Every structure is written in C-alpha cells, then in structure tokens.
Amino acid sequence: MKQAKLLALFGLFTGTVANAQSVYQVDLKADGATVEHRGFAAPDANLADGFAATYHLPKTVPGTYATLDYGRFVTDFTAVDAQGNTLKVKKMGNNSWSVKGNAAPVAVRYTVASIMELKVKKDKIFEPASTFHDDQKGSVLNGGGVYGFWTGQERGPVTVDLGTPQGWFAATSLEGEVLGDRTKLVAQSYHELLDNPVLLTKPDTAGFWVANTRVTVAVLDLNGTARAAEFKRELEADMAAVARFLPQLPVDRYTFLTMVGDFRWAGDVLFSGKPSVGGILKVVRALSQQGFGALEHNTSSVYYLGDFGSGERMPADLRVEEQLLGAAVHEFMHIITPLGLHAPAIHDFDYANPSMSQHLWLYEGVTEYFAQLIRYQGGRLTEKEYLDAMRGKLIQGEKFPNRKFSFTEMSRNVLDKPYKDAYLNVYDRGAVMAWLIDAQIRGAHDGQRTLIDVIMALHAQYGPDRPFDEAGFFDAFCEVAETPGLRAFFAQHVEGREPLPYADALKLVGLEYRAQGSEVKALNPLEAGKNDLKVKASNLGLTRIVQKVGPNEWAGLKAGDEVAMKDLVAARDSAVDGMMKLPVTRGGTQVILDVPVKTETVTRPHQLSVVDQQRWNAFTTRP
C-alpha cells in the first residue's frame, strides 16, 4: 500500500532515463552531498593544443531577485577526461571553474554543503532556495545549490540518479522512477531541473484533487512531527478558493514541498514562563538569521517554516499551518505570472550573468494582490481582515522611495544597492498598484471585465513558452485591457515617480479613500495617559503588571494586578452594552472585573471605507 501511494506521487513515468546525455549522480552525506556530473562540455574556443571549458553553478535563480552565489558552497571540485586522467582546474570568481587538459572533460565531481546548516554572514541564501542534506533526516534539493552546467549546455535533457536511503522517497513534480536504492528523475533541460526542487525524506505526504489538478503535500519536519494530513486540510480550502477564482488551473499537478525547522526552544523562551534577557537575545540572534518563507516554481513551491511549539501565549500567526497558508496561495498563483507570463530575461534565464525584468509589479505585485483577493472572495478572510491587509500594504507601500526611483527602475536593478533595499515593496506597493489597475479595468467595463480576465487573456496569448516583449509589455497589456487612461497610469506611477492616485481608482470598486481619516477607538485601561495608573510590561509585552494606581483610575484595577493583553483584546471584542469582563490575576488568583469600554476619536492615516455597496459587492464576488 505504501508503495502504491508512493508511486502515484510521481505521476507519469518515462522510459527515457538510459539515453540522457547529461547525468548527475547525487549521494547524501551527513552534512552535504557528493555530485558526479557526466556530460558534454563545449570548448571555450577553438584551441590548437588541448581543451578548455568552463563549469558554473548559478549566481542566482529565478524568483529570488537576489545574488546567491551557490558556487561558494562547492568543494573538492575535480574533472576527468574519457581516459580517467585528471584535468587542470582553476576556480574563477565565486561560481565558475576553468577546466583545461589535452582532451575534453567527461565528468566533474564535487561536494556540495548543507547550506542551511552553515553560518553565512554575507549574501545568505534565502532558505526556500537553499539546500539541506542530512543522511539521517532528509534532504531539500534546490537545484541551484546542487547542479552545475558547462557554458551553453543549459538546454539538453538531464537525468538525476539520486541515492535514496531505504524507506525514503523523493517528492517532486519531476517525472521519474524508483530502482532499488536509487531514484531516477528526468528533466527536459537544466532549466526544468532547477525549476523542480526535490524533497528526499521518510514519507509524510498527502494528496488531493482541485478541479483537474493533482496536489501533493510533502513534509520534512526536523523534529519528526507528522504534518502532511493537517497541511492538506488547510490547503484544500485555499486551493478550492483558487479554483473558483481561475477559469481553469493551467497545471495538471502541483507539489507543496515543506521543510519545518525546530524552533520549539525559542517558543519556550518567548511564549511560556518568564523569559530572561539572555534567552531573548539568543532567540533574536537565532531568528534574525532565518529566512522563513517560500519560493515558487512552475508546478511546485518550497516552504521553510518554523515550529515554535504550542506555548499558550504564542500568537496565532506563528502556528506552522498559518505560516504555510500565509504564502501558499501567493506561491501557487505564480503559475500564472511570471511562470506563464514573463519577459525573455526570465524565459531564458542566465544563471551566470542574470539580467532582471522591469515588470516586478506584474510578477510579485499582481500575484500578491490576487492572493489576498482569492482568500477574501473564497471566504478565507473577512471583509475587515481583507481591508486591514490592503490598508497595511498601502501604509508600507508609501515607504517606497518613489522620489528617488520608480518601480520599474527598482525592478531592473534589484540585485544592486540601493534598489535591492526596496525589493520587499513588491508585496506592498506592488499589490496596491495591481488593486488600482484592477479597479480601473472594472470601472471602464462596468464590472464585466477585471484584472484576472486581462491576465488570463495575456496568458493565453503568451503562455509559459513564449515570452512577451520586455519594453512593449505595457502597450500589450493596455491593448487587451481596453481601459482609458491606463497607459498613462503606467507611465506616471509605475514607470514614473508620481504618487499613486488611491482615491480616484478605489472609488471605482465602491471604496472611499482618505489620506487622513478618523476612527472611534476603545481606550486601553492599561495605558498610562488613558487611565490613572503606572504599569510595567512583562513577558515581552504580552502581559502588563499594574505598579501603582491614582485616584482617577476608572477600570477597577489595583497595584499588583496582572493582565494578559490577549485577554484584554478578547474581552473588548465581546463587550456587551459598553461593558467588558476582564480577567485579571490578583494575588495569585483570577478575578473578573466589569470594566466600562471608554472610547476616543483618533486620526488614522490611509482610511478605507465602503461607500458604494453595490460596486463593492461586485468587487467581492467573481462575476
């Protein structure tokens, strides 16, 4: 039974394994892996005497928008010719090796590190693009950190011959087969190989269908907790929302590859008991080194999540499932863009000397915008949660330095300073730009045409195999969108440096935007200045201890009282007739205070409110 389930994960099988000309033999070690790559090397030039060729590991990979220099983590690099003679090797820069000899190289051998386990100070590799190899626990094979290529040889078919410890299996969207203790995986090119990471571990998997797409979830949890069944339950609801949003899912299989790091010790320090200053510093140091998150591929995505235990004071968003859901729809939607709609720089990715496309507003902005909208339309976010999320993006997006450079300028130069420091704004300002574009398209078509319709029309026109023209894409987009003023919007606010016109665009979906609004807010009875008392924060700010009360104290608190902030929020949210029931720890026991909810009117930047219910309803439901 286990075997049947295991084979089903690979989908279709192929018989082309034996004939491929480029074969990587990969075997795990305790803290790395050995790689032998047999394959054809093209000479660097026509040499009169002997042979010279250059072997590379990627400088970067698609989707990361950062310099990674995977060649830094390769050691023991050797090359041999057909007679088994060792050839002369010289490392060139971070990522390349010059190989010279009397005859052509037929194989190179090298060792790759378990990069996630190294302490890397400069240009640390984002975990979802990184590698982990442990012959006892499992392996995350992100191709950039494992497979190299000879200059100009990124196009031909490749095979991976992967050593597979007994009882383990390789989860991936690549086609392949299991032969004893080896797994053979086949890709049509080096590009396809790098686009298909592999999770090699003891099986913890689950699968389900969404419309016509077979979805597989595979987990490598470093402390051994089985999670696939729970991940499946959570993902099924999000994927159903995706299936309602898209006219059809453009892939027949999709694999969520998840690695869960063990940070229960950090959770213990932070969320149970009383943390020491030393403990907190240790946690901060450790977590600042971690890149939790995800990276997209055409038919899979890789997640690096943290297990912070189950301390009762842990914020809900830190649950492992919440971390996964925070990224899953976004990563899945990348199958539309950039993976199915992109510039030549992404299509024919240059791993040695990458050039960046100016259209990050599309690749990341539109994707993140859709992820939020899908979860809202699918009932996974409430109206308030959705508007709060978009307002948060508006506030963050205003920090983009658009007086210094435009969004397209940032995108083209994102590997370099100062542009790379603004990269994270693709998820905020980029998503807001997509919102304003969607609103304008809807406004021009009386709600009958929307951004996803335009994107899907372009996807049909271009698709994964035909890149669009980098410089002409704004025109191509506007031609399909048929929306007056949209080309000028791109020129002024995406290519140009002008501030975004929130109010004009958002009224087209029924929202009123005000740069400065006011809000009625409940007073915090534990805030000095709002109440006549002195308090001390404890437990990293999660609780307050009352130090002293004055004559005008109005909530009934006494010196020594301890209040958990989450109890205060819960009590306020369930207040009845202006009174809340506030749990307080007083002298070691819990008492419930009846506290009046007092309010004040405060100003709030970037206010969004629904003013035209009909337009808003049209926006929130897919026509």
Complex with Zn ion: residue 234 or 364, whichever CB lies closer: 364
CB of 424 to Zn ion, least distance (A): 11
Range in contact with Zn ion (rule: CB under 5 A) among 109-117, 222-230, 359-367, 552-560: 359-367
Alpha-carbon gap, residue 58 to 31, rounded angstroms = 21
Give the β-pairing of 32-38 and 88-92.
unpaired
# of chain residues touching Zn ion (CB under 5 A): 1
Cα distances from 55 to residues 81, 101, 272, 350, 413, in angstroms, run 14, 14, 51, 14, 26
CB of 294 to Zn ion, least distance (A): 8
Q: How far is the CB of 364 from Zn ion (least distance, A)?
A: 5
**Cα-based angle 187, 188, 194 (whole degrees, multiple of 5):** 55
Nearer to Zn ion, 74 or 451 (CB): 451
- Contact set for Zn ion, span 159-188 (CB under 5 A): none
* Secondary structure of residue 424 in the 3-state scheme: helix
Query: Residue 597 CB: number of other CB atoms within 10 A?
Result: 15
Q: Measured between alpha carbons, how far is 509 from 210 in angstroms, rounded to an integer?
A: 30
Report d(CA 409, CA 393) in Å as an integer: 20
Nearer to Zn ion, 87 or 431 (CB): 431
Q: Give the Cα separation of 43 and 105 in Å (integer).
A: 10
Sheet holding 198-201, edge to edge: 132-134, 138-141, 198-201, 169-171
For the bound state, the minimum distance from the C-beta of residue 238 to Zn ion, rounded and expressed in Å, comes to 15
As a whole number of angstroms, the distance between CA 65 and CA 485 comes to 31
Residue whose CB is less far from Zn ion, 260 or 294 = 294
Per DSSP, the residues of 320-376 read HHHHHHHHHHHHHHTTTTTTTS--HHHHT--SSS----S-HIIIIIIHHHHHHHHHH
Residues 360-379 that bind Zn ion (CB under 5 A): 364
Question: In the complex with Zn ion, which residue's Cβ is closer, 360 or 486?
Answer: 360
Considering beta carbons, is residue 176 or 397 the nearer one to Zn ion?
A: 397
Instruction: Report residue 596 as tokens.
Output: 């009046």
Binding mask 98-137 toward Zn ion (x if CB under 5 A, else -) reads: ----------------------------------------
Rounded least distance, CB 273 to Zn ion, Å: 37
Residue with Cβ nearer Zn ion (81 or 364):
364
Rounded Cα gap, residues 99 and 330, in angstroms: 42
Q: Which residue has the tokens 């090119």?
A: 189
- Taking the complex as a whole, the smallest distance from the CB of residue 336 to Zn ion amounts, in Å, to 11
In the complex with Zn ion, which residue's Cβ is closer, 140 or 329? 329
Are the beta carbons of 510 and 613 closer than 8 angstroms? yes
User: x-or-dash pattern for Zn ion, window 27-46, by CB under 5 A?
Assistant: --------------------
And the tokens for 364?
């990341």
Q: Measured at CB, which residue is nearest to Zn ion?
A: 364
The piece of 216-224, 358-366, 468-476, 517-525 that touches Zn ion (CB under 5 A) is 358-366
State the minimum distance, in angstroms, from the CB of residue 330 to Zn ion: 6
**Interacting stretch for Zn ion, rule CB under 5 A, among 70-78, 116-124, 128-136, 356-364?**
356-364
Query: Which of 128, 275 has the CB closer to Zn ion?
Result: 128
Beta carbon of residue 430, minimum distance to Zn ion (angstroms, whole number): 10
**Closest approach of Cβ 363 to Zn ion, in Å?**
7
Q: Which residues bind Zn ion (CB under 5 A)?
A: 364
